[in-house]
């Protein structure tokens, strides 16, 4: 169980626009879908491309490099769920998004 790190105000995270942050130097992507906030690793499981410029459709984020697609709810690669990217627990306290790393 990691420690919680404040990232930004909930009001500053745009809907369906993945935003990159580097808490503790780690590449983390925050994604807002409606009232839900997800935090995933901003590094593709294939060859490490940043996923921040990927295309989001529903809960599926597609890598801009070679189109691998991941479910942001659990980080799993859609074609082979044994592969995937890390996901991190998100907490919202007093309008501030924190990620547990
Ligand atoms: S680096 Fe993401 S699909 Fe290849």
Atom of ligand 1 nearest to the CA of 63: 2
Question: Mean per-residue pLDDT for 87-99?
Answer: 97
Atom of ligand 1 nearest to the CA of 64: 2
- Of 71, 46, 45, 49, the closest CA to residue 60 belongs to 71
Say which CATH architecture domain 4-100 belongs to. Answer: 3-layer Sandwich (2.102)
pTM for this entry: 0.95
Domain ranges of the chain: 4-100
Q: What would the pLDDT profile of 23-69 be if each residue is shown by its tens digit?
A: 999 999 999 999 999 999 999 999 999 999 999 999 999 999 999 99
Burial of 63 (0-12, 13-18, 19+ CB in 10 A): buried
Q: How many other CB atoms are there within 10 angstroms of residue 35's CB atom? A: 7
CA of 79 to the centre of ligand 1 (A): 13
């Amino acid at each position: 169980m990691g420690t919680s790190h404040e990232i930004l105000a909930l009001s500053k995270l745009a809907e369906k626009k993945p935003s990159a942050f580097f808490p503790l130097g780690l590449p983390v992507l925050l994604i807002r879908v409606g009232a839900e906030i997800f935090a995933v690793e901003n590094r593709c499981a294939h060859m490490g491309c940043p996923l921040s410029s990927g295309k989001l459709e529903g809960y599926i984020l597609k890598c801009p490099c070679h189109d691998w697609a991941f479910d942001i709810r659990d980080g799993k690669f859609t074609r082979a769920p044994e592969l995937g990217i890390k996901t991190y627990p998100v907490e919202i306290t007093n309008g501030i998004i924190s990620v547990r790393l």
